[in-house]
Structure 1
Amino acid sequence: MKRATLCPERLLPQHGVPPPWPGREVRLDGMVSYVRETPATVPGAEPALYVHGLGGSSQNWTDLAGLLSGRLDGQAIDLPGFGRSEPGLRYTVPAFAARLVRYLEHSDRGPVHLFGNSLGGAITVQLAALRPDLVRTLTLISPALPFLNFGRSLQGRMLPLLALPGAERMAARRLTELAPEAMVEKLLEACVADLSRICEQRRREALEEIRVRYEAEHYAAAYVRTFRGLVSSFLRSYLPGSGSLWRLARSVRAPTLVVGGGRDRLVDVRVAPQAARVIPDSRLLMLGGVGHVAQLEEPRLVARAVLGLLTETGEGAQRHDLAG
């Protein structure tokens, strides 16, 4: 494990707050996935794929993908059941990883620079370990890798819900009880350490995303089943067998950047340093006053660390001055 290298601030573009990148529906194996495109601003840029966390969507990557568009040709995908993608058949880490593999094979964009936040971090670790041919570099932001002290997560209070047969109906009812505006505030408070870093435009976009969720009949079931699948993967990781996410992390060979938030309220803050220790070729960036979604709170710092990774490893097709 090494300390992450930050590229100079002057190399980042100075644009303000871009709107969500345009998206399109991709039908694959009879199911529609929604993919947002952040086109590169230079020729010959290498492909990137961004994977959101539990309850998130492809919009979580708007700022970071824009900041990296001078080096990477980005796509951000909505996982099955989330954002604007159709519901899936199974909501487990292996099932999500298999879906991404199929998408990369279908799109013929691999190998890619792979990004994962929270649940997306667990999924991308599995993908990078099992299909190294599809991954150039790996960036993990507050990855939801296994930890057993659920008292260190606000989501720990949801664990009893998973054992109830009517969990999905209860979750759906909870959605109808809270106004979209109240739900946005609850989510931001859980994910973000300093709410002043989230501009009004991003709040409006988050509100629109919540309204989309409220209209999707499958959303509550997708959320509960995904959370159940994630907890199951945590428990399996401490049992014998090949399915342990920590064992998979040890086998990742791609150059990796791990970003952790010192005020993360959803994933144990000790997970990011542990991931950096376990993954062989890794760099760690801990951001003391940041929460669970560093790419939203401090996108410029995260972008500088990603560009540092690409420069250090010789990845990225061009060495362009991003400000140009």
Structure 2
Amino acid sequence: MKRALLGADEAFGPDRVPPPWPGRMAVIDGEQIFVRDTPATRPDAEPALYVHGLGGSSHNWTDLSGLLADRLDGQAIDLPGFGRSDPTKQYTLKAFADRMIRFIEVGDRGPVHLFGNSLGGAVAVRVAGLRPDLVRTLTLVSPAMPFLDPRRSLQGPVVPLLALPRADRVAAWMMGRLAPEEMAEQVIAACFNDVTRVSEQRRREAIEEIRVRYTATHYADAYVRSLRGLVSSFLRAYLPGANSMWKIAAQITAPTLVIGGRQDRLVDIRVAPQVAKAIPDSRLLILDGVGHVAQMEVPRIVARGVVALLDEYERERTRV
């Protein structure tokens, strides 16, 4: 593990708030996955794949993927059951990772520069650890890797509900009590440290995303079962066996950037250094005054970290 470097801020030009990138449906093994494409601005841009967190969507990568468009030809996906993607039969880390692997294989764009936030970070760890041939570099933003103290997450009080046989009904009832505007404000408050960094356009988009969730009858089930699968992976990580997320992280060969927000309310801040320590070729970037979604709260800083990683990757590849 080493300290992350930052590229030049001037390389990104003035701040702007781009609209969501164009979306389309892709069929993977008979199921529809919603994909947003960030068109590259350079013909030699390399492929990238962005994977969102629990309850998120491809919208979560709009700003970062736009900043990186001169280096990366980006695709951000909605995980199965989230955003506009179809529901699926299994909501485990293995199932999500298998779907991402198939997405890369079917698209014939690999290897990719892989990005993951929160749940998507854990999925990306599994992809990079088990299929190193598909990953050029890895960027993890507040990855939801194992920690066993629920008091260190705002989702801790929800964990006991996972034992209920129809927890999805409870979750749907709880969500249904709030208007989309109220739910969006709660999500923003949980994920951001400084909510003033959220533009009005992004607030409107967040509200629209909540409305999409409310019309998707499968959403509560997808959320609860994904959280249950994540918690299960936390428990297995400390048991013997090949499925330990820490053992899988130790197998990653791709150059990796691990980013943590010091004011993260959802993932224990101690996790990011542990992840960086577990991954052999890693760089750690801890951001003061930042919450759970650094790629949305401070996208320019995250982009600077990624550019430094890409530059290092290019130098190493040229040297070989």
Check if 1:313 corresponds to 2:313: yes
Cα distance change on mapping 1:276 and 1:242 into 2, 3 Å: same
Q: Tell me which amino acid in the other structure corresponds to 2:146.
A: P
Are the structure 2 counterparts of residues 158 and 193 from structure 1 closer, same or farther at C-alpha, using a change threshold of 3 Å? same
Matched residue, 2:133: 133
Matched, 1:288 2:288: yes
Task: Give the corresponding residue for 1:103.
Answer: 103
**Unaligned regions of 5+ residues in structure 1, if any?**
319-324
The alignment yields a C-alpha RMSD, in angstroms, of 1.3
The residue number in structure 1 matching 2:199 is 199
Change (3 A) 1:82 1:315: farther
Contact 1:44 1:317 in 2 (8 A): no
SS at match of 2:239: coil
CA shift for structure 1 position 287? 0.3
Q: Which residue of 2 aligns with 1:152?
A: 152
User: In structure 2, what is the equivalent of residue 321 of structure 1?
Assistant: none
Hey, what's the Cα distance between the residues in 2 that align with 1:278 and 1:104? 25
Equivalent residue of 2:50, what SS? strand
Deviation at 1:166, TM superposition (A): 2.1
Matches within 5 A, 1:54-133: 54-133=54-133
- 2:6 corresponds in structure 1 to 6
Give 3-state SS (helix, strand or coil) of 2:289's partner. coil
Q: Which residue of 1 aligns with 2:297?
A: 297
Partner of 1:36: 36
Q: 1:128 Cα deviation (Å)?
A: 0.2
Query: Residue type of the partner of 2:101?
Result: V
Per-residue deviation at 1:13? Answer: 3.3
Q: Deviations over 1:13-42 (max 9, x none)?
A: 325100000010011211100000001001
Q: Deviations over 1:196-244 (max 9, x none)?
A: 1111110000000000000000000000000000000000001010000
AA aligned opposite 1:177:
R
Amino acid at match of 2:309: L
Whole-Å separation in 1 of the counterparts to 2:24 and 2:149: 40
Supply the distance in 2 between the matched residues of 1:12 and 1:42 (Cα, whole angstroms).
14
Out of 191-200 and 308-317, give the one that drifted further.
Answer: 308-317
| Residues 171 and 220, structure 1, Cα contact 8 Å, conserved in 2 | yes
Counterparts of 1:150 and 1:245, CA distance in 2: 18
Shift in CA distance, 111/315, structure 1 to aligned 2, threshold 3 Å: farther
- Greater relative CO, 1 or 2 (CA 8 Å, sep 6+): 1
Correspondence 1:179 to 2:179: yes
Do the aligned residues in 2 keep the contact of 1:310 with 1:316 (CA within 8 Å)?
A: no
Tell me the secondary structure at the aligned position of residue 18 of structure 1: coil
**Counterparts of 2:288 and 2:185 in 1: how far apart (Å)?**
22
Distance in 2 between the 1:151 and 1:175 partners? Answer: 22
Instruction: Output the amino acid matched with 2:33.
Output: S
Measure the CA separation in 1 of the matches of 2:46 and 2:14. 22
CA, structure 1 residues 22+315, in 2 after alignment: closer, same or farther (shift >3 Å)? farther
What is the deviation of 1:54? Answer: 0.2
The DSSP-based 3-state class of the residue aligned with 2:155 is helix
**TM-score of the superposed pair, with normalisation by structure 1:** 0.96
| Corresponding residue number in structure 1 for 2:21 | 21
Aligned-partner SS, 2:265: coil
Total equivalences in the alignment: 318
State whether structure 2 residue 246 is matched by structure 1 residue 246: yes
2:262 aligns with 262
Deviations 1:26-72 (A, max 9, x none): 11211100000001001111000000000000000000000000100
**Distance in 2 (alpha carbons) for counterparts of 1:218 and 1:187:** 19
Residue 71 of structure 1 contacts residue 317 of structure 1 at CA under 8 Å; is this kept in 2?
A: no
**C-alpha displacement at 1:173, in angstroms?**
1.2
Describe the shift of the 1:65–1:316 C-alpha distance in structure 2 as closer, same or farther (beyond 3 A).
farther
Amino acid at match of 1:86: D
Please, what TM-score do these two structures have when normalized by structure 2? 0.98
Alpha-carbon distance in 2 for matches of 1:190, 1:129:
30
Residues of 2 paired with 1:303 and 1:310: CA distance? 10
Task: Give the conservation status (yes or no) of the 8 Å contact 1:45–1:317.
Answer: no
Percent of aligned pairs with the same residue? Answer: 65
**Partner residue in 2 for 1:272:** 272
For residues 63 and 36 of structure 2, the distance between their equivalents in structure 1, rounded to whole angstroms, comes to 13
Uncovered stretches (5+) of structure 2, i.e. residues with no partner: none
